[in-house]
Copies of this chain bind each other. A is one copy, B any other.
Amino acid sequence: MISDARAVRVALLGCGTVGSEVVRLLHEQAEDLTARVGAPLELVGIAVRRLGRDRGPLPVPAHLFTTDALGLIKRDDVDVVIEVIGGIEPVRGWLVEALRSGKSVVTANKALLAEDGGALHDAAAEGGADLYFEAAVAGAIPLLRPLRESLHGDRITRVTGIVNGTTNFILSSMDASGAGFAEALEEATALGYAEADPTADVEGFDAAAKAAILASLAFHTRVRAEDVYREGITEVTAADVASAKAMGATIKLLCLAQRDNDAVSVRVHPAMIPRSHPLAGVGDAFNAVFVEAEAAGQLMFYGRGAGGAPTASAVLGDLVAVARHRLTGSRSAPESVYADLRIRPMGEALTRYHVSLDVADRAGVLAGVASVFARHDVSIATVRQSGRGAGATLVIVTHVAPDAALAATVEELRSLDIVRSIVSVLRVEGDS
């Protein structure tokens, strides 16, 4: 291999689904990439855990593979480090080492960024290096760059996203077929949309990490995964889905980040959104992020959130940017956290509830239920009553109120004589 003096030298950490797609694209699009960067991109090493593993036919010589990731990172001829391993350790130390020594990093590691992004940003500042991570949220969708750069002249007020493909596939399938969660999860697993251990997806951990990254960028502050209120979709029932349908709505696992004054509220939970909302039409394993900004108004970004090729596309886009910076001696805008906002606890977050109750069918029931809402200062937007005979169903949608007041209302309803059971409780988003 002839070395071009101006070549930008790339070390790749990890060679699984995404990594091998990165290798393939670097090879197949070498000519286009050289034209776009202004110099060739040269892959100088690939760090893997085991050398022997079958990775299919990759267009690189075997001697590029190594198990010594740290040694690869420390090589003098490495300009850029791409990390597609994932997880916190040992990757954190490696990337901090790379950035501190002035090597630019492109990473898809949402868990690490959400857990300790500050450490990476600080190391990047120290080393004068670029830290890019478009692939960490919503895979192929160019989303972080617009938030970091294009919308810098505006004030973002709210970000509402569908950022986990597995749960969106499950909820879309429950919506289409009326199936319960367990059945839909089984289908998703069979089709390869859910992993053998689906906890990170269905319990909302993956979405919470992405929510932390999105909120940090949108609001110029540091938000960590632990700051994000999180509820998964395992408790969403076929009855909830039917309730949503009856309201002209659908259920999505949303990540929400909202700023008001000096505080930011970041949360992940299932919620009903009206079918007319642009996010309602986002089906299958697609991702979409809906951004509201003061001047720009409503924006939405839609595309594939996962998969080898889509994620590799985002990694390569970042790679072109940092490689160009190496050649021109420039770098990206550093982390912008000047706003330094307080995290608003979930109890203070303003939300709306949809509550469906199985009640005794006798006079005074509505009055009794309504008085519970009133006692907690929760204003009711609509009430729908149906059913005759032994019992009736009461469906109540509230106006916005602090989440704690709404939760306390539901708690008190549970203990009410006239309430036989609570059929469904869901937050409502997307039309206020």
Contacts and interface: CB of A to CB of B under 8 A. Distances in A.
Interface of A: 21, 25, 29, 32-33, 35-36, 134, 140-142, 145-146, 149-155, 220, 278, 281, 293-304, 307, 309-310, 312-321, 324-325, 328-331, 333, 336, 338-339
How many copies, total?
2
A220 B35 contact: yes
Which 5 interchain pairs have the tightest Cβ spacing?
A153-B316, A330-B330, A142-B150, A142-B146, A140-B296
A35 B154 contact: no
Contacts of A29: 153-155
Given A25-B154, A328-B331, 5 more contacts: A35-B339, A36-B152, A153-B314, A296-B303, A325-B330
Nearest to A286: B298
B295 A153 contact: no
Most buried by B among A145, A153, A313, A314: A153
A303 B146 CA distance: 13
A304 B333 CA distance: 27
A146 B300 CA distance: 14
A313 B151 CA distance: 7
Given A150-B134, A318-B153, A35 B338 contact: yes
Contacts of A35: 220, 336, 338-339
A75 to B, nearest CB: 23
A313 B336 contact: no
Given A35-B338, A304-B298, A317 B155 contact: no
Contact of A149 (B281, B321, B328): B321
Contact of A153 (B25, B278, B330): B25
Contact of A336 (B21, B36, B145, B146): B36
Contact of A21 (B220, B295, B330): B295
A32 B309 CA distance: 37
